[in-house]
Amino acid sequence: MLSPELGHYALALACVLAAVQGIIPLIGASRRDARLMALAPGLAIGQMIALSASFLSLIYAAVTDDFSVQNIAENSAVSKPLLYKITGVWGNHEGSILLWALILGLCGAAVAAFGRNLPSALRARVIAVLGLVATGFELFCLTTSDPFARVWPAPMDGQGMNPLLQDPGLAFHPPILYTGYVGFAVPFAFAIAALIEGRVDAAWGRWVRPWAVAAWCFLTCGIAMGSWWSYYVLGWGGYWFWDPVENASLIPWLTGTALIHSAIVVEKREALKIWTVLLAIATFSFSLSGTFLVRSGILNSVHAFANDPARGVFILGLLGVVIGGSLALFAYRAPALTAGGLFAPISREGALVLNNILLCSLCAVVLTGTMYPPFMSLLFDRTISVGKPFFDATTIPLALPLFIFMGFGPMLPWKRAQLWPVLQKLWIAAIVAALACGVAVFRLSGVLPIICAAAAVWVIAASLTDLAERTKLFRAPIGTSIQRARMLPRAIIGTAIAHAGVGITVLGLAAMSQAQHKIVEVPIGTTEQLAGYTWTLKAVEQEPGPNYTAMVATLEVRRNGQLITIMHPSKRSFNSQNQTTTDVAIHTNMLADLYGVLGDRHGPDNNPTYVLRLHYNPLAPWMWLGALIMAFGGALSLSDRRMRVGAPQRAKSSSATVSVS
Amino acid sequence: MTRKTRRLWLVIACVACLGTAAALILRAFSSDIVFFVTPSQVEASPPPADRTVKLGGMVVAGSVKREKHGETPVATFAVTDGQAAVTVHYEGILPDLFREGQSVVAIGTVHPPHEFVASEVLAKHDETYMPKEVAEALKKSGKWDPRFGPPPSAASWNSMTVQDARKNLSAPAAAN
C-alpha cells in the first residue's frame, strides 16, 4: 500500500510537522516551558518517519515501474537495471530535493536522538531551527517540484535515463554529497540557537564540533567521488574542471574546514566565539547556495540539467530568508556575545587563526572566480569565463603558506608558545621535505609543482613527526611508545592522519601536472610509445550490450617487453537515445594510472583506423586516496571519547518521553 | 600581550592575507580571464593571437571534416552564430555529444581572418540547450522572435549552412 498519493500525503504531513517543530519548541524555550520544549524530539523523529515513508513510496513506484508518476515516466524505463531504478530516484531534480529534505529530517532526528545531554532549551532551539529550514525545503518540494505528480494517460514505458548518469559512481555520489551539504545545517542550527540564547561557551564548541566534523567527512568524500566520476566517465583524463558546480561544493568545504578548526579554539579556550558562529552560518549558506547554483541554472555549466525560473525564484526567496535572516540575527545578537580569552600570536590558537584567515582567503578567491562571470554578464552583458589558469594563479600561492603552517600548528602549545623548540622537533621533517624538493627538481618540471610536492611531503612528514613526538618513538623503549600511542586521544591521531591525507592529495595534484598524453589515429596492429610504455592496438570488436552496442578495443601495454596489462576501452552507442558514451579503461599500480580512451572509427571498412587517446597519469589515485584518508582522520577524531555526545549521561526528566506517542 | 596588541596582530594577518588574495585576483583577472566570443565578433574585431578565448555557436551542418596529420587526427568544422562562420581546427577526439547542427564551445586562439585553433572542444549534455549568446544572435538575425514562441529546434539549425550565415551577414551590410 505504498501508493504515490500516500507518499505525497506523507510529504505534506512532514511539512506540517516541520512547521510545528519550528515554532512550538522556540516558544517553549523562550517561556522556559518544559512541556513545549519536550515536544521537539518527538516532532523531529515524526517528521523523519513521514519523510522516510514518502521517499520509500517513491522508490517503490520506481521499482514497480509505475509510469503514471510523471517523474518516473520521464526518468525511468522497464529495461533499466534494478540498481539504477532505485538510484535514479535521486538522479533528477524532484527526487534529489526530496532526498535533500529526507537527509535534513535525518539530521533533526539525529539531534533528537543523540542530543539528550544538551541543555533542554538549546536542544529545543536547535531542533526548531532545523524544523524551520526543513519547512522551507518541503514547501519547495510540494509546490514547485512535486515528485509524485501523476500523468494521464500513463505511458507504456518510461523515457529512460541519460546513459551518462547510468554509473555506480554517480548513483551514490549525490546522497553522500548531500549528507555533507545538509549536515552543515546542524552547526548552523546550533549557531542560530546560540544567537537567540545570547550565549556561546566551551560546551557549545564541544557540542557543535562533532556535527561539523561528520558533515565535513561526508562533504570531503562527496567532492572526491564527484571528481573521480568526472575522471573516469568524461574521458578527458581531467579530474577537476573548476566548473561552477564543482566550486559550489568546494566553497562550503573550505569554510567548513575553517569551522572545524575554529570550533577547537572555542572548545579549548573560549575564544573566536563570534567568528565561529559566523563561520557556521556562512558554511550552511554556501551549501544552500551550492544547491541553488546547480538547481536554478543561474550558472550554466556542464552539470546543470535543471533550468526552471519558477523554481529559481522560490529557491532565491528561500535563500534570502535563511541567509538574510540569520545574518540579520547575527548582526543584532553577536555584540551580546562576550569576547574570549587572550592568547599570543605564536600559539596553537594563533596557528588556528592563521589557518582560518588563509582558508577564508582561499574561499574568497574561489568565490570571486565563480561569481564574477555571472555578475559580468548580468551587469555589463559581457560573457567571460574563468578557468584553470585563473584558479591556479590565485589559489596555489594562498594554499602554500597553509601547507607550511599546517606542519607547525598541531605541535604548538596553547596560549603562548616558542617557535624554536617546535622547529627543533621538526628538523627531520624539514630535511625530508628538502630531499623531496631535490627529487622533485629532477622528476618534475615547472616551479609550482616542485614547490607543491615539497610542501606536501613537509605536511606528511610533520604530521608523522607529531605522532612520533607524542609517543616518544625512538626516544623511549618501544613498549613505552606503544603504551603512549594507546593512551593518545583519538582526536590527535585523527588530526595527524587527516593532515597527512591533505599532503597525499597535494602530492597527487603536483604529480598530475606532469601527466602525459597522446592522441593518435591508427589502424589495428600499430604500436605507440608513451611515458616508457609500449601501447599496441591489438583488435577492435563489436559487442552487443543490454541496451547498447559497444565497440571494444584490445590494447596491450608492455614495458621493456614485459606485459603490463591488457586494457579494453570501448565506445557505446545507445539505440534508444541516439547517444554514445565513452568507456575509459584504466590500469593502476597506485603509483600511476594508464588511461586509454577509444575514439571514432574512420576510413574504409576493409582498412579502418581508430582514434586513440592514451594518458599516463602519475600518482593520480593519490588525489582521491588522500581525500579518503582525510575523511578517515575526521571519522577517527569523531570516535574520540571527548566527542561522544550522548554517552556520559541520559536525560533524567520523565517528561521528555511523554511527547513521543 | 594585551587585547589591543592581539587585535593588531589579527588585523595585520587579515590585511596581509586578504590583500594578497585581492592582488592575486586582480593580476589573474588581467591575464587569465577567458572571454566568450561569437563568430561575428571574431569577424568584426578578432582578439590578439596570444589571447585564449571561448568561441561559442552552432556547428554548421556538413562542415565537419576529419583528417590525419601523420598519426594525429585533426578535425575541422565551421561554427556559426547565424551571422558569421569561423573555421575551427582541433587536434584530438571530439566529445561524444558533438553533433552537426548542435551547440558547441571551443577554447583556443584566433588566427585571423577566419581560423580558430582549439585546444579543447566542449559539447553540452542537453541537445536542446542553446548558449545565451547564440540565442541573442538568433534574435538579432531575425531567425527567432521570442514573442512568437520558443527558439527553433536544434534540428532546424541543420539547414543553416555557411551560405545562410553569409546571407544573414550580408543583409544588415546591405541595409547600411
| Domain extents in chain A | 1-161, 410-514+622-631, 516-619
Q: Could you identify the residue written with the cell 594563533?
A: A350
Instruction: At A515, list the grid cell.
Output: 601527466
Mean pLDDT of chain A: 86
CB contact under 8 A, B17 and A358: yes
Nearest-CA distance B59 → chain A (Å): 17
Q: Reply yes or no on whether the pLDDT at A491 is more than 60.
A: yes
* A225 shares contact with chain B (CB less than 8 Å): no
* A31 shares contact with chain B (CB less than 8 Å): no
Nearest-CA distance B175 → chain A (Å): 26
Highest mean pLDDT among A345-349, A627-631, B62-66: A627-631
User: Phi first, then psi: what are they for B58, rounded to 5°?
Assistant: -105, 145
Cβ-based neighbour number of residue B30 at 10 Å:
8
* B8 shares contact with chain A (CB less than 8 Å): no
Could you please report the per-residue DSSP string of A401-468? Answer: HHHHHHHHGGGSPSSS--HHHHHHHTHHHHHHHHHHHHHHHHH--SHHHHHHHHHHHHHHHHHHHHHH
* B50 shares contact with chain A (CB less than 8 Å): no
Q: Show which of residues 311-340 on chain A sit within 8 Å of chain B, judged by CB atoms.
A: 339
Q: Which residue of A has its CA nearest to B128?
A: A305
Share of chain A above pLDDT 90, in %: 46
SS3 (DSSP) at A615? strand
Give the nearest partner residue to A383 out of B18, B20, B133, using CB atoms. Answer: B133
Residue A124 CA to residue A39 CA, distance in Å, equals 8
Residues 6+ apart with CB under 8 A from B25: A365, A368, A369, A394
* B14 shares contact with chain A (CB less than 8 Å): yes
Q: Show which of residues 273-292 on chain A sit within 8 Å of chain B, judged by CB atoms.
A: none
Mutation for A interface: B6, B26, B105, most A CBs within 10 A? B6
Residues 6+ apart with CB under 8 A from A634: A213, A214, A216, A217, A220, A260, A494, A498
Residue B125 known to bind ligand = yes
| Domain extents in chain B | 1-32, 35-175
Residue B138 CA to residue B83 CA, distance in Å, equals 8
- pTM of the shown model: 0.88
Of the candidate ranges A146-150, A550-554, A608-612, B171-175, the one whose mean pLDDT is the lowest: B171-175
Residues 6+ apart with CB under 8 A from A35: A28, A655, A658
Nearest-CA distance A397 → chain B (Å): 8
All residues of chain A having their beta carbon less than 8 Å from the beta carbon of residue B132 are 300, 377, 383
Q: Would you identify the CATH topology of the domain B35-175?
A: OB fold (Dihydrolipoamide Acetyltransferase, E2P) (2.40.50)
Q: Reply yes or no on whether the pLDDT at A660 is more than 80.
A: no
What pLDDT score was predicted for residue B159?
Answer: 47
* A358 shares contact with chain B (CB less than 8 Å): yes
* B72 shares contact with chain A (CB less than 8 Å): yes
Give the A:B interface size as CB pairs under 8 Å.
126
Of the candidate ranges A161-175, A232-246, A503-517, the one whose mean pLDDT is the lowest: A161-175
| Predicted complex ipTM | 0.76
CB contact under 8 A, B1 and A416: yes
CA B108 from centre of chain: 9
Give the nearest partner residue to A519 out of B13, B17, B91, using CB atoms. Answer: B91
Instruction: For residue A74, give the amino acid letter.
Output: E
Beta strands in A524-591 (DSSP E): 527-530, 533-544, 548-559, 562-567, 570-574, 579-583, 585-588
Nearest-CA distance B171 → chain A (Å): 25
CB contact under 8 A, B33 and A390: yes
Residue A409 CA to residue A354 CA, distance in Å, equals 9
Question: Does CATH number 2.60.98 belong to domain A516-619?
Answer: yes
Nearest-CA distance A25 → chain B (Å): 39
All residues of chain B having their beta carbon less than 8 Å from the beta carbon of residue A383 are 35-36, 132-133
Mutation for B interface: A159, A300, A302, most B CBs within 10 A? A302
Q: Reply yes or no on whether the pLDDT at B9 is more than 90.
A: no
Q: Reply yes or no on whether the pLDDT at A495 is more than 70.
A: yes
CB contact under 8 A, A365 and B21: yes
What pLDDT score was predicted for residue B32?
Answer: 80
Residue A521 CA to residue B70 CA, distance in Å, equals 9
Q: Reply yes or no on whether the pLDDT at B56 is more than 90.
A: no
What pLDDT score was predicted for residue B141?
Answer: 58
CB contact under 8 A, A368 and B32: no
Give the nearest partner residue to B17 out of A357, A581, A609, using CB atoms. Answer: A357
Q: Reply yes or no on whether the pLDDT at A644 is more than 60.
A: no
Burial class (CB in 10 A: 0-12, 13-18, 19+), A487: exposed
What pLDDT score was predicted for residue A314?
Answer: 81
Give the nearest partner residue to B3 out of A342, A386, A600, using CB atoms. Answer: A342
Of the candidate ranges A108-122, A309-323, A608-622, the one whose mean pLDDT is the lowest: A309-323
pLDDT single digits (tens) A415-471: 887 888 888 888 889 999 999 999 988 888 888 999 999 999 999 999 999 998 888
Do residues A500 and A463 lie in contact, with contact meaning Cβ atoms separated by under 8 Å?
A: yes
Q: Reply yes or no on whether the pLDDT at A279 is more than 50.
A: yes
Do residues B38 and B80 lie in contact, with contact meaning Cβ atoms separated by under 8 Å?
A: no
CB contact under 8 A, A302 and B125: yes
pLDDT single digits (tens) A67-93: 889 888 888 888 788 888 888 888 888
All residues of chain A having their beta carbon less than 8 Å from the beta carbon of residue B24 are 365, 393-394, 397-398
pLDDT single digits (tens) A572-619: 887 766 677 888 999 998 899 999 998 888 777 778 888 888 999 999
Cβ-based neighbour number of residue B155 at 10 Å:
12
CB contact under 8 A, B24 and A394: yes
All residues of chain A having their beta carbon less than 8 Å from the beta carbon of residue B54 are 385
Q: Show which of residues 131-150 on chain B sit within 8 Å of chain A, judged by CB atoms.
A: 131-133
Considering only residues A250 and A152, tell me which one the structure prediction assigns the higher pLDDT: A250
CA A444 from centre of chain: 30
What pLDDT score was predicted for residue A654?
Answer: 38
pLDDT single digits (tens) B66-124: 887 777 888 899 888 777 788 999 987 787 778 777 778 888 888 876 788 998 888 76
Nearest-CA distance A277 → chain B (Å): 18
SS3 (DSSP) at A594? strand
* A613 shares contact with chain B (CB less than 8 Å): yes
User: Residue A386: enclosing H or E segment and its boundaries?
Assistant: strand A384-386
Instruction: At B36, list the grid cell.
Output: 566568450
pLDDT single digits (tens) A325-376: 999 999 998 888 776 667 778 888 889 999 999 999 999 999 999 888 878 8
What pLDDT score was predicted for residue A387?
Answer: 81
Average pLDDT over residues A397-421: 88
CB contact under 8 A, A384 and B2: no
pLDDT single digits (tens) B20-39: 999 988 888 888 888 888 88
Average pLDDT over residues B148-163: 48
All residues of chain B having their beta carbon less than 8 Å from the beta carbon of residue A522 are 71
pLDDT single digits (tens) A4-62: 899 999 999 999 999 999 999 999 999 999 999 999 999 999 999 999 999 999 999 99
Nearest-CA distance A400 → chain B (Å): 12
Confidence of residue A211 (pLDDT cuts 50, 70, 90): very high
Give the nearest partner residue to B32 out of A353, A364, A390, using CB atoms. Answer: A390
* B54 shares contact with chain A (CB less than 8 Å): yes
Q: Can you give the three-state secondary structure of chain B, one letter per residue?
A: CCHHHHHHHHHHHHHHHHHHHHHHHHHHHHHCEEEEECHHHHHHCCCCCCCCEEEEEEECCCCCEEEEECCEEEEEEEEECCCCEEEEEEECCCCCCCCCCCEEEEEEEEECCCEEEEEEEEECCCCCCCCHHHHHHHHHCCCCCHHHCCCCCHHHHHHCCHHHHHHHHHHHHHHC
Strands B53-59 vs B65-69: parallel, antiparallel or unpaired: unpaired
Give the nearest partner residue to A342 out of B1, B25, B29, using CB atoms. Answer: B1
Nearest-CA distance B116 → chain A (Å): 18
Q: Which of B111, B135, B143, B100 is nearest to B42 (CA)?
A: B111
Q: Which residue of A has its CA nearest to B23?
A: A394
Residue B129 known to bind ligand = yes
All residues of chain A having their beta carbon less than 8 Å from the beta carbon of residue B2 are 342
